[in-house]
Amino acid sequence: MTHHLLGRKAKVSKDFVISLDHRTNLASNSYDIIGADQVIEHVLFPQLAIREIHRLLRPDGIAILTTCAYSPVHRKTAFLDFWRLMRDGLMVLSLPFRGGFLQCGTWGTSKMVSTRAKYYYNSSYEKKLFGEMFESEVRVNDLDNPFQSWIVLRK
C-alpha cells in the first residue's frame, strides 16, 4: 500500500509490533517511518522509548506519536497505564530529535473530555453520545481542554 506523507511517497506495511520498554535487537538507522499511536502512555520509561525510536530511524526518518492527553485509567485492559501527556510534555520527551519538530499539537473540547469521563465504562452510551456530537465537536479545538496530543518528528 502506498501513501503520501509530508510530500514523500511511502510504502506502508505493519511489519511487527515491538516493545519500547527496552532497547530492541533491531538494527540502528533501519526505518523511514515509525508510528506509535496511543502507545507512549503505556510505556514505563517514555524517555527510553523515544531514544529507541530515534535510534531505529534512518537519517531524515519520520516519527509520528499520538497519545491521550485526557482519558480515564484503562483498568479493563491487559496493559498498564502510566502517563498523560500534553503538547509540552511530548516536546520535552522528544529532545533527542534536536529540533526536528515538524508538528506538535493537541485537540479536544471540554464537552468531549467531560463526556469521556462520565461515560467511560458505558461504551454503548459513549458511542451513541460521541456519534451524536462528533460532527459538531470535531471542528472545534479548545487548547485548554486537550483530549489527544500528537507530535511529528524528523531525525
Q: Please, what's the b/e burial string for 41-59 (b: 16 or more CB within 10 A of its CB; e: otherwise)?
A: bbbeebeebbbbbbbbbee
List, for residues 70-122, the tens digit of each pLDDT value.
877 766 666 788 889 999 999 999 988 876 889 999 888 887 777 766 666 55
Q: Where are the domains of the chain?
A: 2-107+146-154
The model's pLDDT over 7-66, given as tens digits with 9 standing for 90+, comes to 445 554 555 556 666 677 889 999 999 999 888 888 888 999 999 999 999 999 999 999
Q: Which of 3.40.50.150, 3.90.550.10, 3.40.50.300, 3.40.1170.60 would CATH assign to domain 2-107+146-154?
A: 3.40.50.150
Position of cell 529532545? 95
Question: pTM value?
Answer: 0.76
